[in-house]
Amino acid sequence: MRILITGGAGFLGSHLCEALLAEDHHVIGLDNFITGKPENISHLLPNRNFSFLEYNVCDFLHVEGPLDAVMHFASPASPQDYLEFPIATLKVGSHGTHKALGLAKAKQARFLLASTSEVYGDPLVNPQPETYWGNVNPISPRGVYDEAKRFGEALTMAYHRVHGLDTRIVRIFNTYGPRMRPGDGRVVSNFIVQALQGKPLTVYGDGAQTRSFCYVDDLVRGIINLLLAPPHDQRTDKQFQRDVQFGRVATNHESVHNPVNIGNPRELTVLDIANMVLEYTQSTSHIEFLPLPIDDPKVRRPNIEKAKKLLNWEPAIPLQDGLQKTISYFKTVL
């Protein structure tokens, strides 16, 4: 396949580029380096199946030649990033998704949207299944990311219904691993950097809020399974498509065209994670408690039954192993 990945120099995008190249696909990475880094993809540049475009996906998007798939991963994706770039976050979720969908339609390519567990907001249901509509404050500072992704999902489904585009939506839960940025504000990277530098580990609130962490290799494997999964309904007659467009056909939740959670269902408190990092780094840092940010989710845990059934996927890398690999990476970059 010939695949375009927007946000290709980011944490997840670069791992996707690498994994797809390892499977002999042709990959075009695209990034404007707002949060992505050239060094994430520098080792891929000699590969004859890889090319890179420095470009803003919110601008007019054109790629020479055929495409089999467009994977839209461009977006600030950590609390620090989308609080620093709120308008850019909203633009890439709206304009950027629109441009990427338009390119997929023009190339008759499969489209995969990187969405997020943040569409569930501060959930009142735990674990969160794909059928849960969420509990989001649209006007909070955090809401710029939540609503950008919710709009992106709505736009993607509209292209599927109106234009018959073969679309996929992955709702990504907390992910960690090499190539996370030291200052990105995410829980695991924050704790590891602070521990290695001998600084206090900053825990917000009392640390009882929960998170579920998936190692990046597991996540990438699930995303590729979703990309390559065959469409569940091959019908193309015009009347059927019009029935889908106007809601006269029941939505099949089990379809690969509807959102799929990809994440690790093992739920831990933030305080548990902090103590694990202190143990694995052998750090003498202490834990410092700070006020909980506004609308910070109290729980976060994916229901992955749909991914198990449709994609034959579930995470395989234990948290202890993933943390050790991530700590080793940060020791080389700090």
CB atoms within 10 A of CB 272: 15
Residue 283 host element (H or E): none
| Alpha-carbon distance values, 241 to 43, 159, 169, 235 (Å) | 44, 11, 20, 8
Query: Phi and psi dihedrals of 167, rounded to 5?
Result: -120, 155
What is the rounded CA–CA span in Å between residue 261 and residue 80? 23
Q: Which residues make Cβ contacts (< 8 Å) with residue 280, sequence separation at least 6?
A: 320, 323, 324, 327
Distance in angstroms between the alpha carbons of the first and the last residue of the chain:
37
Q: Active site includes 145?
A: yes
Catalytic residue among 55, 82, 132, 145: 145
Q: DSSP class of residue 135?
A: B
Q: Which residues make Cβ contacts (< 8 Å) with residue 288, sequence separation at least 6?
A: 200, 201, 202, 203
Cβ atoms 27, 3 nearer than 8 A: yes
Q: Which amino acid is at 41?
A: I
Please identify every residue annotated as catalytic.
Answer: 145
